[in-house]
Amino acid sequence: MMTSEEGWTQFLGTVGRWGLALAALAALLLLSAVPLDISGFAGVRPFFALMAVYYWSILSTAPPPGVFAFGLVLDLLSGYPPGMTALLLVAAQAVTARNRKFLLGQPFLVIWAGFAVEALAAGAVQWLLFSLLALARMPLLPVLIAAALSALLFPLSVLPLAAVYRALSDRPEPP
């Protein structure tokens, strides 16, 4: 039977983990929204949320309804049609989860390449959906630059993402 002290430690651990998970989500949200006073950055902002969804989906299974809700909040915040980011993130999560077993055993370069493909696909789908909704051809170049920037920045974002994952699960080292 668990002593009350053990119960407390476990309780605090759970609270801490939830807190950390929420803090990580808040940080992602901020990265996706805060103006960075860099000329032209707003038009080509990298897909930070996609990086997190991709990486965490390889390490473990992120709950799709949670991913959907997070995407919806991002949509409401950024003035996008509601469902746009939610769709992209849920689709990315489903595709990654399907290839999870393959990706888990691969060297980092392959995981990186996988993300680059996913970022490009996400950009293309976004461009297509926006063009369809606006019934006009949207400029393609900014979204391609955003996808390329996302791919370039992915290795940098992996370090904090891996640290959060390690703290959240008591599992051994991620790949």
Q: Please say which residue, 23 or 110, places its beta carbon nearer to another protein.
A: 23
Quote the tokens at residue 27: 């940080």
| Helix, strand, coil distribution of the chain in percent, nearest 5 | 75, 0, 25
Binding site for another protein (CB under 8 A): 26, 29-30, 32-45, 64-65, 68, 71, 73-74, 76-84, 86-87, 90-91, 93-94, 126-127, 129-130, 133-134, 136, 138-139, 142-143, 146
Residue 29 CB, nearest approach to another protein (Å): 7
Comparing CA positions, the residue from 45, 112, 114, 113 lying closest to residue 85 is 45
Here the tokens at position 79 are 């003035």
For residue 156 the two structure tokens come to: 């940098």
Give 64 or 175: the residue with its C-beta nearer to another protein. Answer: 64
Write down the least CB distance from residue 36 to another protein, Å: 7
What are the distances in angstroms from CA 115 to CA 3, 119, 135? Answer: 46, 6, 29
Identity of the residue, 27 or 168, whose beta carbon is nearer to another protein in the bound complex: 27
Nearer Cβ to another protein (4/39): 39
